[in-house]
A and B are shown apart, each in its own frame.
Chain A
Amino acid sequence: MFFWIGLFSFGGGLMPWIHREVVTARGWMKNEQFLTGVALSQILPGVNSVNMAVYCGQRMRGLAGAVVAVIAMLTGPFLVMLLAAASYRTILGVPWIHAAMAGVAAGAIGMLLRFGISAVQTIATGVVPILVALATFVALGIFKWPLLYVVAVAMPISVALAWPRGKSDA
């Protein structure tokens, strides 16, 4: 399954694929648990999607699951990369490739948007989480502040605000 995800992940549209397969289609994970993984794999060094594969595989099958998920995710792109590396001059020369790739990329962003909407629905349990998500969006999307600083500031605030609720049903 991660093999296909890896192969079809054009232009950074990976998260929604994983989300669709793991949460929506197969129900292996809850939406909230998945979002934690998204946040964790963004903070940690390394490629987000590969970290996410580690996170999902580990939660489902431990070490073996994580290893299989990463290898499966990277095999497809690796093979395509070898092909492309061998023939990249030819590929870049084909005139219609650029428009088609741009179309695929736009479609992938659309998937990401759909995933973002479902993420917002999951966290929309009160005013505070909505404000936190909005502030994160504005800082990164509009002001283009560096991800690391935004997360370093937003995360403690958000966690502190979630604390009382966390205690009450622990």
Chain B
Amino acid sequence: MRDESYLSLLLSIVAVLTPLSLASVGGATVIYAPLQFEAVDARHWITGREYLDLFAICRFLPGPSSLLGAMIAWKVAGLVGALVAMVALYLPSSALAYGVGMIWDRHRGKPWHTALERGMAPVAAGLIVAGVFTLFQLSGGDLLTGGVIVSVAALLTWKRKLHPFALLIAGAFVFEAAHLAGYLA
């Protein structure tokens, strides 16, 4: 497991994750299928059952859900593997974002730049609201979830000083209470 074979394991982690870093346009969801194919079927790093378990736990963790890649790397290659996976996952896409950002800044103030900036803002606003809607549907789309969503948004509007973290905890307590009352399965 040491030396040469370990090094080639690390290299194959990079080989699997780097393309995924650049392929994940529009969220991590597109990488799940290819990641599963590589990790389970092609390379036998983990079993399908383990993949599903790790996937489930990743959805409950903070941070981007593509951390799943690093989690798998941790399972097969330990801490070094996980660190290598982090670099492979996030360096390529971040470097690209940085390059685009540099070009972006260089042309600040030109008419087409202003038009682009103005034109993109409404699309972004539509994306955000659509994201809220889709997440609401994914989370079950029930009254309890909807109620908590609207209450949090309203509280953040009327009481601007309120720390959002307090609201997230409150959301957890509301669901916990509903769970105990038998409303949730």
Question: A50-B64, A81-B58, A167-B111 are known contacts; what are 9 more A-B pairs with Cβ within 8 Å?
Answer: A8-B62, A39-B121, A82-B74, A92-B57, A107-B172, A109-B132, A110-B171, A111-B152, A132-B126
Docked-complex contact B119 and A80, CB < 8 angstroms = no
- Shortest Cβ distance from residue A105 to the other chain B in the assembled complex, whole angstroms: 6
| A41 to B167 alpha-carbon distance, docked (Å) | 27
B93 touches A47 (CB 8 A): yes
User: Once A and B bind, how many residue pairs between them come within 8 Å at the CB atom?
Assistant: 356
A35 adjacent to B94 (CB under 8 Å)? no
Find out whether the CB atom of A80 lies under 8 angstroms from the CB atom of B62.
yes
Asked if B36 lies at the interface with its beta carbon under 8 angstroms from chain A, I say: no
- A58 in contact with B98 given A40-B104, A85-B71 (CB within 8 Å): yes
- The residues of A with any CB-CB pair to B shorter than 8 Å are 6-12, 14-17, 20, 24, 32-33, 35-36, 38-51, 54-55, 58-59, 63, 66, 70, 73-74, 76-78, 80-82, 84-85, 88-89, 91-92, 96-97, 99-117, 119-120, 122-123, 128-130, 132-137, 139-142, 144, 146-148, 151, 154-155, 158-163, 165-167, 169-170
Interface size range on B against A: 35 or more
DSSP class of B's interface residues: helix, strand, loop or mixed? helix
| A82 close to B93 (CB less than 8 A) | no
Kindly state the separation between the CA atoms of A133 and B27 in the bound complex, as whole angstroms.
Answer: 20
Whether the pair A137, B130 counts as a contact (CB closer than 8 A) is: yes
Identify 22 residue pairs between A and B in the complex whose beta-carbon atoms are under 8 Å apart, listed by A's number.
Answer: A6-B63, A11-B135, A14-B64, A47-B64, A50-B64, A66-B94, A74-B64, A76-B63, A89-B53, A100-B172, A101-B60, A107-B171, A108-B168, A123-B121, A132-B123, A136-B125, A140-B134, A144-B134, A147-B25, A148-B25, A158-B120, A162-B118
